[in-house]
């Protein structure tokens, strides 16, 4: 009877996923398949996973051409040679400090549109002079302080590029910092579902 009880319970989604990917051994698969015969929910889930894998398997990536590889390797050779004649450490430190100072100046003057997920807007919103548009997750502020010390080199580079290059910025500059994975997903979901103008 024990077996019968187990078959009545819905298997975990992870097991269903592995079944759809042919990763379970026969006895495990059989139990789930038997269960799915009398459980519409699991049957549907199995079908959905199988269909998902079929769709995903259609994605093809084309390899770069020999000419492109040659260009990449050419640049690698160049960088490696450059690396060998790199500036001494103290000079690099000085250059970094200078870059940071410039960045602060730019930030001081920048009009910044800062994005945060809705739940965490309150404190920041109070400092914004503009009223928050009701369905927007973004808000604008003319001044903002960024703790540059908290940014890693990658973020500093990115900031630098963002301001120096004036990329994608239409009137407002937008930054999203330090979002957790869940926050990021929520934010992107909201942005995607917000009505187009």
Partner 1 sequence: MNEREERLLKAFLDGNEAAFEELVKDSWERIYRTVMRIVRNHDDALDVMQDSFVKAFTRIRSFRRASSFATWLTSIAVREAINRAQRDRFRRAVSLHLLGKRPSPAGANPDALAERSAIRERVAQAIEALPPVQRAVFTMRFYEELKVREIAELLGSSEGAVKASYFHAVRKLRRNLSGLR
Task: Select from Zn ion, partner 1, none the partner in contact with residue 59, using the beta carbon and a kind-dependent cut-off of 5 to 8 Å.
Answer: partner 1
Q: Give how many residues touch partner 1 by CB under 8 A.
A: 54
Determine contact, residues 174/114, Cβ cutoff 8 Å.
yes
Q: Is 46 in the site for Zn ion (CB under 5 A)?
A: no
Contact 87, 96 (CB under 8 A): no
Q: How does DSSP assign 87-117, residue by residue?
A: PPHHHHHHHHHHHHHHHHHHHHH--EEEE--
The stretch among 103-111, 118-126, 127-135, 163-171 that binds partner 1 (CB under 8 A) is: 163-171
Binders in 57-86 for partner 1, by CB under 8 A? 58-59, 61, 63-64, 68-69, 71-73, 75-77, 79-80, 83
Closest CA to 127 of 143, 138, 111, 113: 143
Pick the closest to residue 150 from 178, 127, 124 (CA basis): 178
Bridge partners, residue 139, by sequence: 114
45 lines the binding site for Zn ion (CB under 5 A): no
155: contact with partner 1 by CB under 8 A: yes
Among 6, 37, 38, 51, binds partner 1 (CB under 8 A): 51
Place of tokens 């450059």: 82
CA distance 34 to 56: 27
154 binds partner 1 (CB under 8 A): yes
Binds partner 1 (CB under 8 A): choice among 25, 26, 129, 192: 192
Residues within the interface to Zn ion (CB under 5 A): 10, 39, 42
């Amino acid at each position: 009877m024990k077996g019968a009880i187990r078959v009545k319970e819905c298997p975990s989604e992870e097991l269903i996923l592995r079944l759809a990917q042919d990763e379970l051994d026969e006895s495990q698969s059989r139990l789930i398949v038997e269960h799915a015969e009398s459980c519409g929910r699991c049957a549907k889930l199995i079908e959905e996973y199988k269909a998902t894998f079929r769709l995903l398997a259609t994605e093809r990536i084309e390899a770069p051409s020999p000419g492109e590889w040659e260009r990449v390797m050419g640049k690698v050779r160049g960088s490696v040679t450059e690396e060998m004649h790199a500036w001494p450490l103290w000079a690099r430190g000085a250059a970094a400090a200078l870059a940071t100072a410039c960045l602060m100046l730019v930030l001081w003057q920048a009009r910044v549109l800062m994005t945060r997920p809705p739940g965490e807007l309150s404190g920041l919103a109070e400092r914004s002079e503009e009223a928050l548009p009701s369905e927007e997750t973004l808000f604008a502020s003319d001044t903002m302080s960024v703790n540059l010390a908290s940014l890693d080199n990658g973020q500093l580079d990115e900031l630098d590029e963002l301001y120096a290059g004036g990329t994608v910025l239409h009137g407002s500059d937008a930054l999203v910092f330090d979002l957790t994975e869940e926050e990021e997903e929520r934010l992107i979901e909201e942005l995607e579902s917000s009505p187009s103008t």
